[in-house]
């Protein structure tokens, strides 16, 4: 009697090929998502150098600008570093630090807040300053939030279906917090960040954004324009902030300016004995040798392209 041919090995091989093809597609999709979020190979990059050495944390200028806004809003409310770290880790998980117009159901923005859950209108939530303010407003209502595990504190605000997902961002969020709050000087730099051609820019735009994100107290006295730079330099006086020294406050403002450099057409930032030039941004913060007279230790000076 003739036996029927064995088809199991053939089917098994087909399944293996299908699984292999599916794995390749997944890998390609993951690669494309990463390139979309970070801007792709060769795109401008911002880096945060860990205190004491180690591998830097990389992010795109868009992500750095959003992170700087989140940090600035925290500073305007006098909140501790832990609050900023919780907010950054949450935004990293929810949106990849991108101000997106879509999400689960009606979620939008950096924190994927929902208009239907009384977070505000979609237009409000798409404003990073408003969104960050709403996150902090809810965070400070959590008893002892600064002593809670990050996942617990974030979850009490967000009510996420995946609360443990925040944990994987804590280390990078803490690293970014140290740079943006000025506790770690000159830690943030953005390479290839020549001012964007179509960005609005100008000292007036820098001043308006500073005041909106840090609050009016960021410019406590008349802001001076540098005549040598034809009115393109904004001089920001540095004073003690809430819970920070003047030196830390200065580096906080300087880091904020670097993060927004491309968006605001910033060409150069000076603070203390360091200078960050957009034209040579690949070399990061450069030490100014000797007394150049370029900037007083108590001022942050931001020079724009127009």
What is the predicted pLDDT for the residue at 26?
Answer: 52
Cα radius of gyration (the chain): 23
pTM for the model stands at: 0.82
Q: CB 196: neighbour CB atoms within 10 A?
A: 16
Domain boundaries, the chain: 45-181, 193-304
- Sheet with 57-59, edge to edge strand ranges: 57-59, 45-48, 188-191
Q: How far apart are CA 185 and CA 266, in angstroms?
A: 19
What are the pLDDT tens digits along the chain (306 aa)? 545 555 556 566 666 666 655 554 554 444 344 444 444 445 679 999 999 888 999 999 999 999 999 999 999 999 999 999 999 999 999 999 999 999 999 999 999 999 999 999 999 999 999 999 999 999 999 999 999 999 999 999 999 989 999 999 999 999 999 999 999 999 999 986 555 566 666 899 999 999 999 999 898 654 544 544 557 999 999 976 556 789 999 999 999 999 999 999 999 999 999 999 999 999 999 998 755 444 456 799 999 987
SS3 (DSSP) at 54: coil
């Amino acid at each position: 009697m003739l036996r029927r041919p064995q088809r199991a090995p053939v089917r098994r091989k087909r399944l293996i090929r299908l699984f292999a093809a599916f794995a390749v597609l997944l890998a390609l999709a993951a690669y494309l998502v990463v390139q979309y979020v970070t801007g792709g190979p060769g795109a401008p990059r911002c880096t945060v150098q860990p205190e004491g050495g180690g591998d830097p944390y990389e992010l795109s200028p868009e992500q750095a600008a959003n992170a700087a806004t989140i940090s600035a809003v925290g500073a305007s409310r006098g909140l501790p570093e832990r609050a900023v770290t919780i907010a950054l880790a949450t935004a990293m998980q929810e949106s990849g630090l991108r101000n997106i117009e879509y999400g689960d159901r009606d979620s939008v923005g950096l924190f994927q807040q929902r208009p239907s859950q009384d977070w505000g209108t979609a237009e409000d939530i798409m404003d990073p300053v408003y969104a960050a303010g709403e996150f902090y407003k809810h965070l400070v209502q959590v008893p002892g939030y600064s002593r809670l595990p990050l996942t617990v504190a974030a979850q009490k605000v967000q009510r996420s279906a995946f609360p443990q997902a925040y944990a994987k961002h804590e280390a990078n969020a803490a690293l970014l917090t140290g740079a943006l709050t000025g506790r770690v000087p000159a830690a943030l730099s953005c390479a290839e960040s020549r001012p964007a051609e179509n960005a609005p820019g100008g000292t007036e735009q820098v001043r308006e954004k500073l005041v909106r994100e840090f609050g009016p107290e960021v410019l406590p006295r008349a802001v001076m324009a540098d005549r040598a730079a034809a009115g393109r330099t904004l001089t920001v006086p540095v004073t003690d902030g809430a819970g920070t020294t003047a030196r830390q406050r200065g580096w906080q403002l300087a880091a904020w300016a670097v993060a927004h450099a491309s968006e605001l057409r910033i060409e150069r930032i000076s603070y203390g004995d360091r200078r960050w030039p957009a034209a040579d941004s690949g070399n990061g913060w450069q030490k100014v040798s000797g007394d150049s007279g370029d900037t007083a230790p108590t001022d942050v000076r931001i020079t724009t392209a127009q």
